[in-house]
């Protein structure tokens, strides 16, 4: 299957642009952890729901048995990140974890499946639990299954 095609519009955040550029240029060998830390990230490309442009975001690496999780925490902000809406509108996304990017289908989780993945996400990166205390909204989770 062909990877996502289209015009790439970089983030308005300089650190995001820099991290994505270095990560992709090095095949995931550099810029592969959260800024200033040891926690691994992946780069997820989505299609903008309004622009149709490609958007790239570094997200924490939460993976179990080849299935990934995208946690729309945005640090516990009161609203969802923009990519959340892109995933809903265009659920085929591209995920790069190391040198190769692959296509995945994003599916918003609910109920017991969400609770299971939330526990796994917090086990993987405990800061997610802190983020949940900062917001009234339930932090959305998307499971990403390879196409």
Which pLDDT score is estimated for 111?
A: 98
CATH match of 14-68+82-112+141-146 with 3.40.190.10: no
Alpha helices in 26-139 (DSSP H): 82-89, 111-124, 127-133
pLDDT at 116 over 80: yes
pLDDT tens column, 14-49: 999 999 999 999 999 999 999 878 999 999 999 999
Residues of the chain with pLDDT > 90: what percent? 97
pLDDT, mean over the chain:
97
Please, are residues 75 and 131 in contact by the beta-carbon 8 Å criterion?
A: yes
Please, are residues 46 and 86 in contact by the beta-carbon 8 Å criterion?
A: yes
Q: Given the structure tokens 């040198």, which residue do they identify? A: 99
Mean pLDDT (whole number) for 47-65: 97
pTM over 0.85: yes
Mean pLDDT (whole number) for 103-114: 98
The CA angle 91-108-36, to the nearest 5 degrees, is 85
Nearest to 106 by CA among 135, 78, 83, 138: 83
Which pLDDT score is estimated for 37?
A: 87
Q: Given the structure tokens 């932090």, which residue do they identify? A: 139
pLDDT at 1 over 80: no
């Amino acid at each position: 299957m062909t990877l996502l095609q289209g015009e790439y519009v970089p983030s308005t955040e300089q650190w995001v642009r820099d991290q994505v550029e270095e990560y992709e240029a090095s095949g995931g060998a550099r810029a592969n952890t959260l800024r200033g830390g040891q926690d691994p990230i992946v780069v997820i490309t989505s299609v903008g729901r309004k622009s149709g442009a490609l958007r790239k975001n570094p997200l924490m690496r939460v993976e179990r048995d080849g299935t990934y999780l995208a946690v729309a925490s945005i640090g516990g902000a009161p609203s969802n990140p923009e990519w959340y809406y892109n995933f809903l509108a265009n659920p085929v996304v591209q995920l790069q974890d190391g040198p190769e990017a692959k296509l995945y289908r994003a599916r918003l989780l609910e109920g017991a499946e969400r609770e299971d993945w939330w526990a796994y996400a917090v086990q993987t990166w405990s800061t997610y639990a802190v983020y949940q205390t900062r917001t009234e909204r339930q932090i959305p989770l998307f499971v990403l299954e390879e196409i």
